[in-house]
Structure 1
């Protein structure tokens, strides 16, 4: 008789406890590295970390288009632009004291040169109708999403006389990530009412409430730990008022990446960070919170 193949049991998903533990380990490692750089007041190390994360995030995003063979040239272009952007920023920092003011020129160059370059890619290839348009638009969006928005981390760090950049970076990251963790914990333990199931089935209104609560808690902790005036131009009242706003923006950033992942039929953008996923899974909420906080600083200062 021929051998009968026994059915292969379906792969079991890791338990919520294991996911939380692996996420906690990854988070502790990242925070330890960030804390060392802040404690030693090493802005160059922080900028280097931002550059690595920025380039990896760009590379991770363009990999989402890997099934489209014709998008390869556009993907290489965007990664080169990302590497060039951060190399120019680091070079500016190394040789110029007032690098913060120069970053706006760098952003302008990115958008102008990058916008022209993606069309140059279309000049070199045969037109394929909507496919070509998608490649052009997606290349430009990749620059805005993974380079321009992430570049606000450097602007916040190098805010100059207007603010204590390193402490603001630490505070925004902590408050944003407190919101992320609160959304995950409250959503896992108490979540019953779906928020936007067509985008992210796991997101619940209970988790959203947990994000707001946890962000406010994170901000309160920072205000207790830091010396008065450290978060200038924000006073205690302004900082606490900003916390729920950061929470809402963080949830929006998370959902925005969920739209990208769902449209590409993937769960995580990568697997570099156990329990978290890829680089974009780490930075998605920050891409929405950091630029707005920086613009608030410009307004207040």
Structure 2
């Protein structure tokens, strides 16, 4: 527990410092985290990341994360997606030039993995470009959901939520996490009313409940992946906390959904 607190605090301070800086510094950090996330996916599956498909998958997540059109003027507005598409084509071309050892299934895992990680971190970057408070709102929702679910589940949790995927999670804990997220978000929105524009206050509270459920689903998806591959953690990026995917699994889901609702 001591190691978990120390390294968790250090990692949190570093992340928040880069988040505060914003700009290219934060973009590069998000891109690097996306690369590590794909690296972890390959290791979880028992594949060597530094192969043709592994390197391209990590590159795909990186270019999808960065707002490339902001730095390369010749690219279209959707420069990141356009560049990512070229990486996908390269991955598919590998099935032609290396068809004996590289199959379509290999390519689809690399494409799905890079998209899953890259689109989550891309929306983290877009949220930061829209405003520091947008990212804080998601962080508060995710953290409050985790803490509330753990506290309530440990105290009164009896009915399992998804025992085949994550045996320790309970329905009571899930509801406690949603209530916790609602309370924390309500306080934050009262302090910073601009964070829930363009929605009315009470509509945004309903969205917060949905975002909290989405955060829990992101966590369950990561649990399902780890159970499928037979690993405890996605990696060892942060001692005592596991890998990048262990820390950002909920956010990978919440940021794109928040974007879908036009909050940034």
Deviation of the 1:293 alpha carbon:
0.5
Gaps of 5+ in 1: 1-17, 160-164
Deviation of the 1:144 alpha carbon:
1.3
d(CA) in 2 for partners of 1:69, 1:285 = 26
Deviation of the 1:133 alpha carbon:
3.3
Does the 8 A contact of 1:167 with 1:231 survive in 2?
no
Gaps of 5+ in 2: none
Q: Which residue of 192, 203, 211 corresponds with 2:158?
A: 192
Where does residue 72 of structure 1 map in the other structure?
A: 51
d(CA) in 2 for partners of 1:220, 1:45 = 31
TM-score for both structures, normalised by structure 1: 0.76
Alignment of 1:1-20 (within 5 A): 18=1
Where does residue 13 of structure 1 map in the other structure?
A: none
Where does residue 227 of structure 2 map in the other structure?
A: 262
Does the 8 A contact of 2:95 with 2:107 survive in 1?
yes
The residue matched to 1:268 in structure 2 has which SS? Answer: coil
Q: Which residue of 21, 25, 28 corresponds with 1:48?
A: 28
C-alpha distance 292-58 of structure 1, shift in aligned 2 (>3 A): same
TM-score for both structures, normalised by structure 2: 0.86
The residue matched to 2:121 in structure 1 has which SS? Answer: coil
Q: Which residue of 109, 121, 137 corresponds with 2:94?
A: 121
d(CA) in 2 for partners of 1:69, 1:48 = 24
Residue by residue over 1:106-155, the C-alpha shift from the partner in whole angstroms, topping out at 9 and shown as x without a partner, is: 22431x22331222222232446xx8232121011012101123211122
Where does residue 198 of structure 2 map in the other structure?
A: 233
d(CA) in 1 for partners of 2:49, 2:35 = 22
d(CA) in 2 for partners of 1:65, 1:222 = 40
Deviation of the 1:79 alpha carbon:
1.4
Does the 8 A contact of 1:43 with 1:166 survive in 2?
no
RMSD: 2.8
Does the 8 A contact of 1:71 with 1:135 survive in 2?
no
The residue matched to 1:149 in structure 2 has which SS? Answer: helix
Where does residue 209 of structure 2 map in the other structure?
A: 244
Alignment of 1:1-301 (within 5 A): 18=1, 23-37=4-18, 42-66=22-46, 68=47, 72-86=51-65, 89=67, 92-94=69-71, 102=77, 104-110=78-84, 112-127=85-100, 132-159=103-130, 165-226=131-192, 228-297=193-262
C-alpha distance 153-71 of structure 1, shift in aligned 2 (>3 A): same
Does the 8 A contact of 2:92 with 2:104 survive in 1?
no
d(CA) in 2 for partners of 1:235, 1:34 = 31
Deviation of the 1:273 alpha carbon:
2.0
The residue matched to 1:273 in structure 2 has which SS? Answer: coil
d(CA) in 2 for partners of 1:64, 1:34 = 24
The residue matched to 2:169 in structure 1 has which SS? Answer: strand
C-alpha distance 84-230 of structure 1, shift in aligned 2 (>3 A): closer
Deviation of the 1:216 alpha carbon:
0.7
Deviation of the 1:201 alpha carbon:
1.1
State which structure, 1 or 2, has the greater radius of gyration over its C-alpha atoms.
1
C-alpha distance 80-257 of structure 1, shift in aligned 2 (>3 A): same
Does the 8 A contact of 2:22 with 2:129 survive in 1?
no
C-alpha distance 258-147 of structure 1, shift in aligned 2 (>3 A): same
